[in-house]
Amino acid sequence: MPFRPWWDGADAIAGIARGRRCRVDAHEWLRAATDAAAAGGQLVALWTSPSSEAESGMLMRAALLTDPGLLVLELPLGEGASYRGLQEVFPAASRMQRAAFDLTGARSDDVDARPWLRHAAWSSAKFPLRDGPRTRPPAEPSVDTYDFVRVDGDGVHEVPVGPVHAGIIEPGHFRFSIVGEKVLRLEERLGYVHKGIERRFTELPALEGHRLAARVSGDSAVAFSWAYAQALEGIGGCSISRRAALLRALCLETERIQNHLGDLGALGNDAGFAFGLSQFSRLKEEWLRTVEAAFGQRYLLDTVVPGGTRADLSLEAGRALAERARAIAGSARELQEIYDEHPGVRDRFVGAGEVNPELARRLGLTGLAGRASGQALDVRVDLPVPPYDEIVPTKVVREEGDVAARVNVRFAELQESCRLVALMVEKLPAGAHRVEVWLPAAKRLGIGLIEGWRGPVFIALETEGDVILRCHPHDPSWQNWPVLEHAIIGNIVPDFPLINKSFNLSYSGHDL
């Protein structure tokens, strides 16, 4: 395979067992990415980091997931901070590159240079991660222009939705181009609530950054805080106990269960089947109450900490958690039969929002949505951290790529997570659930990669002692939001809420 020489010539990277980093020049940057794509690799994340070795003071980094493992390419940027974009190789790179420019001024050669995160919140001549926080209002008007792609033709008209939505939801703008009821094109604009998370990380001690990581996207708190802890522990050369690893995995599967329960109910409701919403809402509430009794929180925002976990699990609480998981699995099987046999639900699910495996591969669709479209990657299996090296989840993969397939993947993964929770409680060994983490004084880079319920969650952490120089969190929604634009084509506008919910992508995790 053409990619292998890049891997063999790279240096080991902290935090991830099968991780490497490779310094490249401008020509090698594009060639390595092209070789990785040709070998079936995927782009995980793309970001800039400060560097005293580059003329511009910045490194461009790209994390590629390949058959050998995770390779981080590092490109020193010259004066002017311009570089070859990877959008032709990995289409998902385009928005990442636009965001990188808004934050640091590093400009790719992508023809799409529209701002992605800025939204006129700061001057176009200012770059928050390079120049520091804004201290005065922008000199430019507070309203910016954004040129959506127009679709022309007889009978074509536009339907704008958002950015303000009815109900409690974060802002996002969706511009539909339609003929009659059929959607010809959807274009999204996100990033309205830029929270300054990446800069806030640099204001926190490294040993406290896990709390912010857990709040990047609250529905993936365990995945993000575990990825942060993995990177930090790699930097410190810390090995956590077997009990701590199992407790973390137990929490991760707990997070997967609560999200699948919520979304399966919402999907039933979006198909006009309110009975499904009421039943899954009941099951989710029962699960959250059991989780709170076991760990002290309904949503596990502060459970994963450097060196292990904040809370331990008593024998009695573990048994209650396992018993509840088995009960939920039984109820979910009954509800799946009802969903499968209900003609109205089937009519709404089957064939809606289809993303075929070839399109999914080309666009880099990942996580549960990717597995519903034939993309078998599951980091728990393919790049495991303990205890997933011994307790191996069963992959769930479908080929149809429609709403029905994504629902079926959720049902199957819900069953598997319930099984894993009961198994992990049974296998939980005695011992400490937390150890101390000591950080070296030298500058270090650590990587964390954890399969959250939505897909692979990535953290790149650079420290110098207890100081965070740079922390880049990456949610898989960056890869999957552009695919949603393709999934709606040929469907009708009223089906968008259903198709959108079948992906259920994160605004917050995208809106750093």
Q: Give the tens place of pLDDT for each residue, 400-425.
A: 999 999 999 999 999 999 999 999 99
Element (H, E) at 499: helix 496-503
pLDDT at 5: 80
For the chain, percent of residues with pLDDT exceeding 90: 83
pLDDT at 138: 59
User: DSSP strand E in 173-315: where?
Assistant: 173-179, 182-189, 304-305, 308-309
pLDDT at 486: 97
Q: Does residue 141 carry a pLDDT above 70?
A: no
Distance CA 130, CA 199 (A): 10
pLDDT at 131: 81
Q: Does residue 133 carry a pLDDT above 70?
A: no
Distance CA 46, CA 30 (A): 13
- Residue 187, SS3? strand
- Residue 458, SS3? strand
Least confident range of 75-79, 240-244, 365-369? 75-79
Q: 371 or 120: whose pLDDT is higher?
A: 371
Q: Across all residues in the chain, what is the average pLDDT?
A: 93
Question: Which structure tokens are listed for 134?
Answer: 């804004």
Task: Output DSSP code: residue 492.
Answer: B
Q: Walk me through the domains of the chain, giving residue ranges and CATH numbers.
A: 4-117 (3.30.460.80), 119-132+154-193+476-512 (no CATH), 239-435 (1.10.645.10)
Q: Does residue 375 carry a pLDDT above 50?
A: yes
Residue 378 CB neighbours (<10 A): 25
Average pLDDT estimate for 269-277: 96
Q: Does residue 3 carry a pLDDT above 80?
A: no
pLDDT tens digits, one per residue of 317-335 = 999 999 999 999 999 999 9
Least confident range of 164-173, 178-187, 450-459? 164-173
pLDDT at 2: 63
pLDDT tens digits, one per residue of 154-170 = 899 999 998 888 777 88
For the chain, percent of residues with pLDDT exceeding 70: 97
pLDDT at 455: 97
Residue 119 CB neighbours (<10 A): 20
Length of the chain: 512
Least confident range of 145-149, 186-190, 305-309? 145-149
The pLDDT confidence band at residue 1, using thresholds 50, 70 and 90, is very low
